[in-house]
Amino acid sequence: MSPKYHQMDLDDQTSINKLRDFVKEQYGGIDVLVNNAGIAFKAASTAPFSEQATVSCATNFYGTLNVCNTLFPLLRPHARVSNVSSMASQMSIAKCSDEIKAKFKDPKITMDQLKALIQQFIDASQTDSHQKQGFASSAYGMSKVGVTVMSFIQQRELNSDPREDIVVNACCPGYVDTDMSSHKGTKTIEQGADTPVYLAMLPPGTTSPKGNFVSDRTIQNWG
Strands of 213-215's sheet in order across: 30-35, 75-84, 167-172, 213-215, 218-219
The dihedral region occupied by 176, where left means phi > 0, alpha psi between -120 and 50, and beta the remainder, is: beta
| Residue 43, pLDDT score | 87
Domain 35-219 CATH (choose: 3.60.15.10, 3.40.50.720, 1.10.1240.10, 3.40.630.30): 3.40.50.720
Backbone angles phi, psi at 95, to 5 degrees: -95, -5
- Residues 202-215 have pLDDT tens digits of 999 999 999 999 99
Q: Is the pLDDT of residue 1 over 90?
A: no
CA separation (Å) from 31 to 5, 77, 156, 165? 16, 8, 19, 11
| Residue 212, pLDDT score | 98
- Average pLDDT of the chain is 94
CA 176 to chain centre: 17
Q: Is the pLDDT of residue 192 over 80?
A: no
Consecutive H or E run containing 22: helix 13-27
CA 195 to chain centre: 14
Q: How confident is the model over 9-26, as a mean pLDDT? A: 98
Question: Pick from 103, 18, 92: which is nearest to 56 by CA?
Answer: 92
Q: Is the pLDDT of residue 184 over 90?
A: no
90-127 residues labelled b (16+ CB within 10 A) or e (exposed): bebbebbeeebbebbeeeebebeebbebbebbbebbee
Where are any strands of DSSP class E within 36-178?
Answer: 75-84, 167-172
Q: Is the pLDDT of residue 24 over 90?
A: yes
Going by the DSSP 8-state scheme, the letter that residue 52 receives in this structure is H
Consecutive H or E run containing 58: none
Q: Which of 54-68, 121-135, 180-194 has the lowest mean pLDDT?
A: 180-194
Q: Is the pLDDT of residue 181 over 90?
A: no
Percent of all residues in the chain with a pLDDT value above 70, rounded to a whole number:
96
Q: How confident is the model over 129-158, as a mean pLDDT? A: 98
CA 53 to chain centre: 16
| Residue 223, pLDDT score | 83
Question: Pick from 83, 128, 107: which is nearest to 223 by CA?
Answer: 107
140 is catalytic: yes
Contact between 97 and 134 under an 8 Å Cβ cutoff? The reply is: yes
Reported confidence tier of residue 175, pLDDT bands at 50, 70, 90: low
Distance separating alpha carbons of residues 52 and 43, to the nearest angstrom:
11
Catalytic residue among 5, 27, 140, 175: 140
Residue 23: count of CB within 10 angstroms of its CB = 16
| Residue 191, pLDDT score | 77
Q: Tell if the pTM clears 0.85, that is, is over it.
A: yes
Domain ranges in the chain are 35-219
Q: Is the pLDDT of residue 75 over 90?
A: yes
